[in-house]
Structure 1
Amino acid sequence: MKKIGITGQNGFVGSYLFNSISLLSEEFTLIPFSRSYFDSEAQLTDWVKQCDVIVHLAAMNRDPDPQLIHDTNLGLVQQLVNALSKAGNHPHVIFSSSTQEERDNLYGKSKKGGRELLLKWAADHGANFTGMVIPNVFGPFGKPFYNSVVATFCHQLCNGQTPKIDQDGFLKLIHVDELATLVIDAIRTGNNQQDFPITPTAELYVSEILSKLTAFKELYLEQGIIPALPDKFSIHLFNTFRSYIDHKSYFPFKLKQHADNRGVFVEMVKLQVGGQVSFSTTHAGITRGNHFHTRKIERFLVIKGKALIQLRKYNTSEVLNFELDGNEPSYVDMPVWYTHNIKNIGEEELYTVFWINEFFDPQDPDTYFETV
């Protein structure tokens, strides 16, 4: 069982990779990292000694002072090299560089210089080294105005702001889940490729990205309609957009009831995409669920009875509670990486309708059990 350490494990890519590896606990052991280790040579060296594989992600991406970015990033790599030399073991090192290596800027130079420093250490010690050259990364929970323009646009659109395009550049993108999969593959195979260009999975102009995200806002956020999602990139982009919604204030989404002398008619789900619709009845006091998905889009609609829907982001402690009543039909959508459940808190039978955007596949269920 390989022991894996990730510098920058609390950052955007680092936390996603950490969580993804934690789901493979029968194959890997995670050696937790703290940013404070870079302030203590002894602690950093002790951490290095425990690792069979080190994924070096810690870096500064943005700052008003480009020289500070350059010096910080090279300094972190040099500290890691010093700790590796002192530790005496020779773990497989995976380094996240950037396609900005090709550009004449200090950030790109810091990435290229860091890759070369680690390559020299690996060559001198007979260690495996993977130098990943990575395009723009996007995905849920990225930091706006820092990690990517996708994160910035999503944050602005979900908070009533108007995004602006300074330069309509052509972006090469990869989703954070796809990148995590490539890193895990490199860990498994012991990839020893010093210059490993990561192929982007989507290429769009900034204006095209904003157009797609604006359509998500108009359809989903304002009308509750699940938009057409014709390919994997669209699903990734939509799940990224959904992660920036303030669930506390947006859900439960109340549905309009059309009542007359015959009874009540309610439009439950409006779709531009397929999937599967199911329903359940739940006895009083019973809880269903306690699992999460990493790619699926799911909606819970309560049409009769009283329910408590709970959500908690994986590896965090805050629990979101939503009470729904069938007398006022409403729904809650499940964000990716949020474990969720539904409990009958009333005295009568609970009727719930579920929609999910793909059929259940026992060979690829994308369902991870975790108590809220």
Structure 2
Amino acid sequence: MKILVTGKNGFIAKNVIEFFQKNNKILAISHTDSDEVLEEYCSICDFVFHLSAVQRSTKKSDFVDGNINYTKKLIYYLKKSNNNAPILFSTSTSVDKPSLFSITKLEAEKLLREYANENNVLFYAFKLNHIFGKYGKPNYNNVVSTFCYNIANDKPIYLSDPNNKITITYIDDLIEQFNEIVQIQPRLCNVKYIYCDKQVEISLGQLSNLIKKIKYNNCNKSNILEYNMMITYQYFKNHCEENIK
């Protein structure tokens, strides 16, 4: 199977590529690649992971170009080649909060839903909570990555409210769900969003304490959350900041 992955340099995309390249041909692309490459990939792909997104910028145009216009180009080239490959689209629970990211991400989703409905294309919208694991970007928009990297390297972490809770999912569990979709390609009726099957709610204070336990080899490896957090911590401990940008 030929699998198109947009946003190839992103955290989730890197994990998708690593997993699916074992048995598939990966067509990985980013917004910096040419339209000619995107057109070629859209003409031959059998499945699309649309994972690219602009999450942070000081310019409104970056959100519009990266989230809306790039999605329009993806749709245009798929239609041009009459390719009705299924599309898996990643969005975020944070779109429920008003922001330029939310507005443009929701518009991209709307465009994809309209395209899918009009062309009988299978469309899967994953609404993601906080995903953690290797290849995350610390000190950017990933709390677990930031805590793991900073604690491993004796850098300070900032807790605005230790009691504030987040819902986290390990990247390998998400990839397992992605794989089920790719393999089965179910036709989901009346399902607007797909959510992570495996979620854990944890406070920022608990998260910080857990990672500190792991640092001093006090974690319980028989506990799934602690084991997955340990694997994530070790990744950031063993990778300098330049290598995880």
Distance 1:109 1:13, change over 3 A: same
- Determine whether 1:244 maps to 2:236: yes
CA deviation after TM superposition for structure 1 residue 62, in Å? 2.3
1:242 deviates by 0.7
> Which has the greater radius of gyration?
1
Alpha-carbon distance, 1:46 to partner: 1.2
Structure 1: where are the runs of 5+ without partners?
221-225, 249-372
- Check whether the contact 2:17–2:26 (CA below 8 A) recurs between aligned residues: no
Letter in 1 for 2:6: T
* Cα distance change, pair 232–18 in 1 and its aligned pair in 2 (3 A): same
Bigger RCO (CA 8 Å, 6+ sep): 2
Runs of 4+ aligned structure 1 residues displaced above 4 Å come to none
State yes or no: 1:183 paired with 2:178: yes
Alignment of 1:2-21 (within 5 A): 2-21=1-20
Secondary structure of the corresponding residue to residue 124 of structure 2: strand
After superposition, the Cα gap between the structure-2 partners of 1:65 and 1:154, relative to the gap in structure 1 and judged at 3 Å, is farther
Q: Which one has a larger percent helix, Structure 1 or Structure 2?
A: 2
The residue that corresponds to 2:135 in the other structure is: 141
The alpha-carbon distance between structure 1 residues 116 and 247, as it changes in their structure 2 partners (threshold 3 A), is closer
Shift of 1:230: 4.1
User: CA offset at residue 141 of structure 1?
Assistant: 2.6
- What is aligned with 1:122? 116
Residue 20 of structure 1: how far off its partner (Å): 1.0
Q: 2:194 aligns with which of 197, 201, 208?
A: 197
Matched, 1:215 2:213: yes
**How many Å separate the matches in 2 of 1:71 and 1:108?**
14
**Which is worse superposed, 126-135 or 239-248?**
239-248
CA contact (8 A) 2:31 2:70 kept: no
Specify the alignment match of 1:159 in structure 2. Answer: 153
Gaps of 5+ in 2: 241-245
Q: Residue type matched to 1:187 in 2?
A: V
Indicate the structure with greater strand content: 1
Identify if the C-alpha distance between structure 1 residues 37 and 192 changes in structure 2 by more than 3 Å, giving closer, same or farther.
farther
CA contact (8 A) 2:167 2:202 kept: yes
Q: Per-residue deviation at 1:146?
A: 2.4
**In 1: Cα distance, 2:219 partner to 2:142 partner:** 23
* Counterpart position of 2:243: none
Letter in 2 for 1:243: Y
TM-aligned CA distance change 1:54 to 1:125, over 3 Å: same
208 and 140 in structure 1: CA distance in 2 versus 1, 3 angstrom threshold: same
RMSD (Å), alpha carbons: 2.3
Identity of aligned residues (%): 21
Cα deviation, 1:195-218, whole Å, max 9, x if unaligned, reads 22313521111111111112222x
Q: Contact conserved, 1:91 with 1:128, CA < 8 A, in 2?
A: yes
Q: In the aligned structure 1, how far is the partner of 2:159 from the partner of 2:5?
A: 34
Q: Give the secondary-structure state (helix, strand or coil) at the position aligned to 1:10.
A: coil
Amino acid at match of 2:192: D
Q: Secondary structure at the match of 2:221?
A: coil
